[in-house]
Chain A
Amino acid sequence: MATENINKALDSNIVHTTHSEHPSAATYFKVAMALCLLTGLEVVVFFFEWLSYGIIPVLAILSVAKFALVIMFYMHLKFDNNLFSTLFLTGLFLAIGVTFALMALFRWFHVA
């Protein structure tokens, strides 16, 4: 009885495939391997002292690549409606902007 109720509750969660094709398990595994590889690269690069401050863009690119892989494939944004991307990326870009603005105010324009 009660189970039926819960089931009916969750029926409203039924969503037909408005989303298109889902990647296969093989693709997911490949993404996972790519993530491991990128993480490994980050750690390796970190020991290259000759890079000096050049390490910042390198780590940034590697992290962004990992971030993008998870978002696009695991979170399916690549295949879903653009509206979801817009909603999320608005928050993300504002977040990055505010972080950089605060860093700028405290580090690069700080009057002692």
Chain B
Amino acid sequence: MTTLPIPMIKRPLHPTGIWNWITTIDHKKIGILYGATAFINFLIGGIEAILIRAQLSGSNADIITPEVYNQLFTMHGTTMIFLAIMPLSAAFFNYIIPLQIGARDVAFPRLNAFSYWAFLAGTIILHSSWLFGEAPNSGWFSYAPLTSIAYNPGHGMDFWIVGLQVLGIASLAASFNFVVTIINMRAPGMSLMKMPLFTWMTFITAILLVLAFPVITVALIELMFDRSFGTNFFFAPAGADPVLWQHLFWVFGHPEVYILILPAMGIVSEILPTFSKKPLFGYSTVILAGAIIAFMGWLVWSHHMFTVGLGPIPNSVFTITTMAIAIPTGIKIFNWIFTMWKGSITFSTPMLYAIGFIVTFTIGGISGVMHAMSSSDAQQQDTYFIVAHFHYVLFGGAIMGIFGGLYYWFPKFAGRMFNEKMGKIQFWLLFIGQNITFFPMHFVGMDGMPRRIYTYSSEMGWTALNALETAGSILVVISVALFLYNIVKSWRSGEKAPDDPWDARTLEWSISSPPPEYNFKEIPEVQTVDDWWAKKRGLLGEQAPSGGSGEKGEIHLPQPSFWPLVTAIGIFIGGYGLIYSYPAAIVGLAIMMIGVYSWSFEPVNDPD
């Protein structure tokens, strides 16, 4: 059977080897693609960080020039946020969500594949800026007018703009998919208030994403037009206000940080009950707190701008809203602690990460409340005190949660057990390493060390602590190397994993490790929260024979497709075209349209 409108190209039916991966629309494979690519990006972002730490380890150092240093911290931030944390979360969304809701795949499998390939396109575009000799250099938030063509004539900023737009398309595609999937593909009996916490946090994150990304899409368009076509959006001589960029960026940027942390919070909310053998304390409260955080996240953005001169009234309003958002956050932390209270706790590696998350994320939250007060922020803004804060919440929060999830679900996706002893050692190295790296930053920051400086004088008195921070970062490197070794070795030759190695609570543990392509032989009927746990413990009454939607006999799965990849290739070429050559952009657009048309006419399921 052929696909239109290009009849010569046959639809792949049972591709093998690399074609299997290229045309896959299976959420599990896509999850693995996301995870592998994102982890490589994490390593690249880590190298960028190590170079920064090397340069800062001593006073008056000149290992890195100022120009390259600016590119390093810009790329480190951009890479970690957009190319590492978000897609690592996406890897979990992809792999785990259909399993947790009892579905066979997501609502739009080809759109799912497309979102991965577009993400890969964005990854390559951004990293390639180094190879073209100019990476973006104005910080991950790129304030105007430093980013204008007058002050930034090279192509670096154009790479940043195009890269983020492409990544935005990928993220939006994925999030639209997850919103519909979570609303519309739950197993029979799974009402919203019976969904696992990780699914809930994913749902909230996806909604936040589809509402927040359009704002930065427009901001990036405005910046690109200023740079390429001479418009006046941020051009002060025409009467424009460069602070508008800051507003637009942070209206996106603040919801973005909740997009970064909510999935990790969801993971922690899965791990703690499993390893405490107790249900999550205050299930509905934790969900409600997550929703409140997502809503309030729209009300706080100018706390990133306290020193810009907005005036006393805006500063006061945003101080109050920012302090208020600590309340639902605190509620979650207490609920996690109460989950463990009087639980039967096993301190395996995922659990260590979850508990570690609570410790380091809370520290980050405390410094956050200190910044919330606009007057004290006047001292802290643009110093290493802020750098300490966000690394505690992002590394000590998001990354810890993600590592916890990687260990927790490793048996499920790899079908093997990892080396537990090595895992514990790796945890402690990472935990200690990150604290040695980031805790001293509170002190040098309070002492006045500014952000984004490429070196400092020996008379400042910051040298010893900076050297200590660099030492800590070496520990982090060793820890990550150990993690990689453990994962790769275990994936190859670890002990085979049972379906449910942790005696866990949610549906993904009711099927084999790894799951069959179709996930569930029969779609489960769900009766309660933590339904799998309840089934195992015989807590449910007489059940209707399972078989949910009455599917007998054959299971139909959506079939692979080329077109998501082709569409992404069109966008990839178009991206470079926007940076270097408008004719090439037209070619990219044409390929993208061919991809979209062919995709529309391709059957969801070929009769074969």
Do A and B come together as binding partners?
yes
Q: Please state if B314 and A5 are interface contacts (CB–CB under 8 Å).
A: no
- Whether A110 touches B311, Cβ cut-off 8 Å, given contacts A5-B606, A97-B298, is yes
**A9 at interface by CB-CB < 8 Å:** yes
> Which residues of chain A are within 8 angstroms of B179 by Cβ–Cβ distance?
87
Q: How far is the CB of B236 from chain A (nearest CB, A)?
A: 14
**A54 at interface by CB-CB < 8 Å:** no
Q: How far is the CB of B8 from chain A (nearest CB, A)?
A: 12
Pick from B4, B247, B313, B606: contact of A109, CB below 8 A.
B313
CA distance A90 to B244 in the complex (A): 24
**A26 at interface by CB-CB < 8 Å:** no
Which residues 60-92 of A sit at the B interface, judged by CB distance below 8 A?
83, 87, 90-91
- Whether A106 touches B2, Cβ cut-off 8 Å, given contacts A5-B606, A9-B602, is no
> Which residues of chain A are within 8 angstroms of B2 by Cβ–Cβ distance?
1-2, 5
> Which residues of chain B are within 8 angstroms of A94 by Cβ–Cβ distance?
211, 298
Q: Please state if A102 and B247 are interface contacts (CB–CB under 8 Å).
A: yes
> Which residues of chain A are within 8 angstroms of B3 by Cβ–Cβ distance?
5
Pick from B4, B210, B215, B313: contact of A5, CB below 8 A.
B4
Select the residue from A8, A12, A97, A105 with max chain B CB neighbours within 10 A: A105
**B241 at interface by CB-CB < 8 Å:** yes
CA distance A110 to B183 in the complex (A): 42
Q: Please state if B310 and A109 are interface contacts (CB–CB under 8 Å).
A: yes
Q: Please state if A6 and B298 are interface contacts (CB–CB under 8 Å).
A: no
Q: Please state if A2 and B310 are interface contacts (CB–CB under 8 Å).
A: no
Residues 295-317 of chain B: 1 if any A CB is under 8 Å from the residue's CB, otherwise 0?
00010001000000111011000
Q: Please state if A105 and B314 are interface contacts (CB–CB under 8 Å).
A: yes
> Which residues of chain A are within 8 angstroms of B210 by Cβ–Cβ distance?
91
Q: Please state if A12 and B311 are interface contacts (CB–CB under 8 Å).
A: no
Q: Please state if B310 and A8 are interface contacts (CB–CB under 8 Å).
A: no
Which residues 168-223 of B sit at the A interface, judged by CB distance below 8 A?
179, 183, 207, 210-211, 215
Q: Please state if B311 and A9 are interface contacts (CB–CB under 8 Å).
A: no
CA distance A88 to B3 in the complex (A): 34
> Which residues of chain B are within 8 angstroms of A6 by Cβ–Cβ distance?
4, 601, 603
Q: Please state if A5 and B603 are interface contacts (CB–CB under 8 Å).
A: yes
**A111 at interface by CB-CB < 8 Å:** yes
CA distance A97 to B215 in the complex (A): 13
Pick from A83, A90, A102: contact of B211, CB below 8 A.
A90
**A98 at interface by CB-CB < 8 Å:** yes
Q: How far is the CB of B494 from chain A (nearest CB, A)?
A: 41
> Which residues of chain A are within 8 angstroms of B241 by Cβ–Cβ distance?
106
- Whether A12 touches B4, Cβ cut-off 8 Å, given contacts A98-B251, A109-B313, is no
**B378 at interface by CB-CB < 8 Å:** no
Which residues 1-49 of A sit at the B interface, judged by CB distance below 8 A?
1-2, 5-6, 8-9, 12
Q: Please state if A111 and B211 are interface contacts (CB–CB under 8 Å).
A: no
**B7 at interface by CB-CB < 8 Å:** yes
**B604 at interface by CB-CB < 8 Å:** yes
**B1 at interface by CB-CB < 8 Å:** yes
Which residues 343-400 of B sit at the A interface, judged by CB distance below 8 A?
none
CA distance A87 to B602 in the complex (A): 28
Q: How far is the CB of A93 from chain B (nearest CB, A)?
A: 10
Pick from A9, A87, A91, A102: contact of B603, CB below 8 A.
A9
CA distance A87 to B607 in the complex (A): 34
CA distance A90 to B179 in the complex (A): 13
Pick from B183, B310, B607: contact of A105, CB below 8 A.
B310
Q: In the complex, what residue of chain B is closest to A110 when comparing beta carbons?
A: B311
Q: In the complex, what residue of chain A is closest to B295 when comparing beta carbons?
A: A94
- Whether A105 touches B4, Cβ cut-off 8 Å, given contacts A6-B603, A83-B183, is no
Q: How far is the CB of B318 from chain A (nearest CB, A)?
A: 10
Select the residue from A5, A110, A111 with max chain B CB neighbours within 10 A: A5
Q: Please state if B183 and A9 are interface contacts (CB–CB under 8 Å).
A: no
Q: Please state if B311 and A111 are interface contacts (CB–CB under 8 Å).
A: yes
Q: How far is the CB of A95 from chain B (nearest CB, A)?
A: 8
Q: How far is the CB of A81 from chain B (nearest CB, A)?
A: 11
Q: In the complex, what residue of chain A is closest to B606 when comparing beta carbons?
A: A5
Q: Please state if B311 and A98 are interface contacts (CB–CB under 8 Å).
A: no
Q: Please state if A2 and B7 are interface contacts (CB–CB under 8 Å).
A: yes
CA distance A8 to B3 in the complex (A): 12
Q: Please state if A109 and B211 are interface contacts (CB–CB under 8 Å).
A: no
Q: Please state if A105 and B1 are interface contacts (CB–CB under 8 Å).
A: no
Q: In the complex, what residue of chain A is closest to B255 when comparing beta carbons?
A: A94
Q: In the complex, what residue of chain B is closest to A12 when comparing beta carbons?
A: B604
Q: Please state if A8 and B211 are interface contacts (CB–CB under 8 Å).
A: no
- Whether A111 touches B601, Cβ cut-off 8 Å, given contacts A5-B4, A83-B183, A105-B247, is no
> Which residues of chain B are within 8 angstroms of A98 by Cβ–Cβ distance?
215, 251, 298
> Which residues of chain B are within 8 angstroms of A90 by Cβ–Cβ distance?
207, 211
Q: How far is the CB of A67 from chain B (nearest CB, A)?
A: 19
Q: Please state if A5 and B1 are interface contacts (CB–CB under 8 Å).
A: yes
> Which residues of chain B are within 8 angstroms of A9 by Cβ–Cβ distance?
600-604
Q: Please state if B4 and A2 are interface contacts (CB–CB under 8 Å).
A: yes
Q: How far is the CB of B307 from chain A (nearest CB, A)?
A: 13
Q: Please state if B603 and A109 are interface contacts (CB–CB under 8 Å).
A: no
> Which residues of chain A are within 8 angstroms of B244 by Cβ–Cβ distance?
106
Q: In the complex, what residue of chain A is closest to B215 when comparing beta carbons?
A: A98
Q: In the complex, what residue of chain A is closest to B607 when comparing beta carbons?
A: A8
Which residues 570-603 of B sit at the A interface, judged by CB distance below 8 A?
600-603
Q: How far is the CB of B1 from chain A (nearest CB, A)?
A: 6
Q: How far is the CB of A72 from chain B (nearest CB, A)?
A: 22
> Which residues of chain B are within 8 angstroms of A8 by Cβ–Cβ distance?
603, 605, 607
CA distance A71 to B518 in the complex (A): 40
Q: Please state if B310 and A111 are interface contacts (CB–CB under 8 Å).
A: yes
Q: How far is the CB of A16 from chain B (nearest CB, A)?
A: 16
> Which residues of chain A are within 8 angstroms of B601 by Cβ–Cβ distance?
5-6, 9
Residues 208-250 of chain B: 1 if any A CB is under 8 Å from the residue's CB, otherwise 0?
0011000100000000000000000000000001001001000
> Which residues of chain B are within 8 angstroms of A111 by Cβ–Cβ distance?
309-311
- Whether A109 touches B314, Cβ cut-off 8 Å, given contacts A6-B601, A90-B211, A102-B247, is yes
Sorted nearest first, the 8 A-B pairs with minimum C-beta distance are A111-B311, A9-B603, A8-B603, A12-B604, A6-B601, A109-B313, A5-B603, A109-B314
Pick 30 A–B contacts, CB within 8 A, sort by A. A1-B2, A2-B2, A2-B7, A5-B2, A5-B603, A5-B606, A6-B603, A8-B605, A8-B607, A9-B601, A9-B603, A9-B604, A12-B604, A12-B605, A87-B179, A91-B210, A91-B211, A94-B211, A98-B215, A98-B251, A102-B247, A102-B251, A105-B247, A105-B302, A105-B314, A106-B244, A109-B311, A109-B314, A110-B311, A111-B311
Residues of B within 8 A of A (CB): 1-4, 7, 179, 183, 207, 210-211, 215, 241, 244, 247, 251, 298, 302, 309-311, 313-314, 600-607
